[in-house]
Amino acid sequence: DGTDGTDGADGAQGPAGPAGADGTDGTDGADGAQGPAGPAGADGTDGADGSLPSVMDVEVTVSMMKFYMEAIQQGEVTLYRGFTYTFDQSASSNSPHPLRLSTTSDGAHGGGSEYTNGVTYSGSPGSNGILTFTVPMDAPDTLYYYCANHASMGGTIQIVSLGSVA
């Protein structure tokens, strides 16, 4: 047997193999912390002023030469400054008894005069008469209602500001 020959030279590098498949996607990271609150928005514009409601319609009648307010003989009436009230004199018993207001008890019959601030009249007592009174903000605390034609028929009106108690 003879001796082994010497190793031959290395062969040239073979061609590259095909690319491997993509790996799977990684998992999503955790949510980040919440950011700070943004600045407050600008104030909106003021809304339009609302109209004051007609708070009460007061039914006025007359019996035995006395005014009745909501069926109460010479009843004391409480009104709020800035609000509007209608005193309804359409009942036939109001003829001829025009309702008036004064700062003096019994008005002109008590030596006073008629109070007219905020007062309007329409119609005729006994058919369609209405006294409308929008109470001024500077109205006195006490007024009196009376008949323009006859003494001793009226009563007291207390004027209060909204939020106060009469």
Topology of 54-160 in CATH? Immunoglobulin-like (2.60.40)
Q: Give the tens place of pLDDT for each residue, 29-77.
A: 888 899 899 899 898 888 777 665 657 899 999 999 999 999 999 999 9
Q: Is the dihedral of CA 113, 52, 130, 72 positive or negative?
A: negative
Collapsing DSSP to helix, strand or coil, 8 comes out as coil
Answer whether 0.85 is exceeded by the pTM: no
135: tokens are 């109470």
Distance CA 114, CA 107 (A): 6
Would you say residue 149 has pLDDT above 90? Answer: yes
What are the residue boundaries of the structural domains of the chain, listed by start? Answer: 54-160
Q: Give the tens place of pLDDT for each residue, 79-95.
A: 999 999 999 999 999 99
Q: Is the dihedral of CA 35, 36, 39, 44 positive or negative?
A: positive
Q: Give the tens place of pLDDT for each residue, 113-144.
A: 999 999 999 999 999 999 999 999 999 999 99
Q: Are 103 and 115 within 8 A, CB to CB?
A: yes
Strand 72-73 to strand 66-69: parallel, antiparallel, or no bridges (unpaired)? antiparallel
Bridge partners, 86 (sequence order)? 57, 132
